[in-house]
Amino acid sequence: MKDLDGRLCLITGAASGIGRATAVAAAGAGAQLFLTDIAADGLEQTAELVRAAGGRVLDARALDIRDYDAVTLWAERIHDQYGSLDAVMNIAGIAIWGTVENLEHRHWRSVIDVNLMGPIHIIENFLPPMVRAGRGGHLVNVSSAAGLLALPWHAAYSASKFGLRGISEVLRFDLERHGIGVSLVVPGAVRTPLVGSAQIVGIDRDDPRVRRLTSRFEGHAVAPEKVAERILDGVRHNRFLVHTSADIRIGYWFARKFALPYEKVMRTANRQFSRVLEAQQRTPHDTTPEPANPGDG
């Protein structure tokens, strides 16, 4: 699919961050949009932004992608009225980090349900009609650097993002004979609400040491508009692995080419994080924030 002009395009997580930026960029490229997010107010704001710029939003539906029945009902309405789609972009996601002894079952379940089962619900409902239509198309799945690299405290989050990576790698080949391309987007730090709302279980985010770590992370963050630009470029060029920053591209290359040094770097990073955790455990207090909304990728 060389361009999005006139194409029917679905985007999840459209209320803010990468989802909103991608909606605006896709509309600017001529796509006709179907938008969804759990955050109704933000979703409506995105739709207004797109329309104010002359773009077309055919439907903006506030729903929870964890709810298979809700996704299915929405898909049936879209297909009844508009037929099959041309592009499907799974961008919605949440971030929950923590060490295995601090993560509770609800944390694991929440991040898997939103980041992995949510995209599966979208794929189940929208890809088979795309295949049957025989017009080709494109699937975008937003994973993460944590879907490529063993980042500290990311066990639950990486489970969801590595899972989405695995699905994407298989579908890349399964869908090729139908003319449907697949792009796996692997952002590092992105300046979105998700950065500030990411839940770090058992950690006081106001601790100066934690602030230093998060500020270092945010210092490498790119704008969501840049990520949106990379996503659309990946669609146009049928690029499978879509990097949004050079550090993640280099890190992934390093991990594949230099396994032993990579292991040493990961162990060093983990020790640094563990020192922060151990220091806070010496002065324990309840600092667990509420889970983030499933909006950004």
pLDDT of residue 269: 76
C-alpha R_g of the chain = 19
Q: Are 5 and 232 in contact (CB under 8 A)?
A: no
Q: Are 26 and 57 in contact (CB under 8 A)?
A: no
* Token duo for residue 1: 């699919």
pLDDT of residue 88: 98
Q: Round to whole Å and give the CA distance between 239 and 183.
A: 6
pLDDT digits (tens, 9 = 90+) for 212-242: 666 666 656 789 999 999 999 999 999 999 9
* Token duo for residue 190: 């992105």
Where b means 16+ CB within 10 Å and e means fewer, 187-207 reads: bbbbbbbbbebbbbbbbbeeb
Which residues form the catalytic set? 157
pLDDT of residue 215: 65
pLDDT of residue 191: 74
H-helix or E-strand containing 28?
helix 17-28
Task: Name residue, tokens 């992934």.
Answer: 252
Task: Name residue, tokens 């990961």.
Answer: 266
87-90 and 137-142 as β-strands: parallel, antiparallel, unpaired? parallel
**10-residue stretch averages of pLDDT, the chain, 297 residues long:** 94 97 98 98 98 98 98 98 98 93 95 98 98 98 92 92 96 95 92 67 69 64 92 97 83 70 76 68 53 51
Q: Are 57 and 50 in contact (CB under 8 A)?
A: yes
Amino acid at residue number 297: G
By CB atoms closer than 10 A (0-12, 13-18, 19+), residue 133 is: middle
* Token duo for residue 148: 């490529």
Q: Round to whole Å and give the CA distance between 104 and 197.
A: 18
Provide the CATH topology of domain 8-281.
Answer: Rossmann fold (3.40.50)
Question: ∠ CA 188-31-125 to the nearest 5 degrees?
Answer: 75
**What is the domain partition of the chain in residue ranges?**
8-281
pLDDT digits (tens, 9 = 90+) for 141-158: 999 999 998 888 899 999
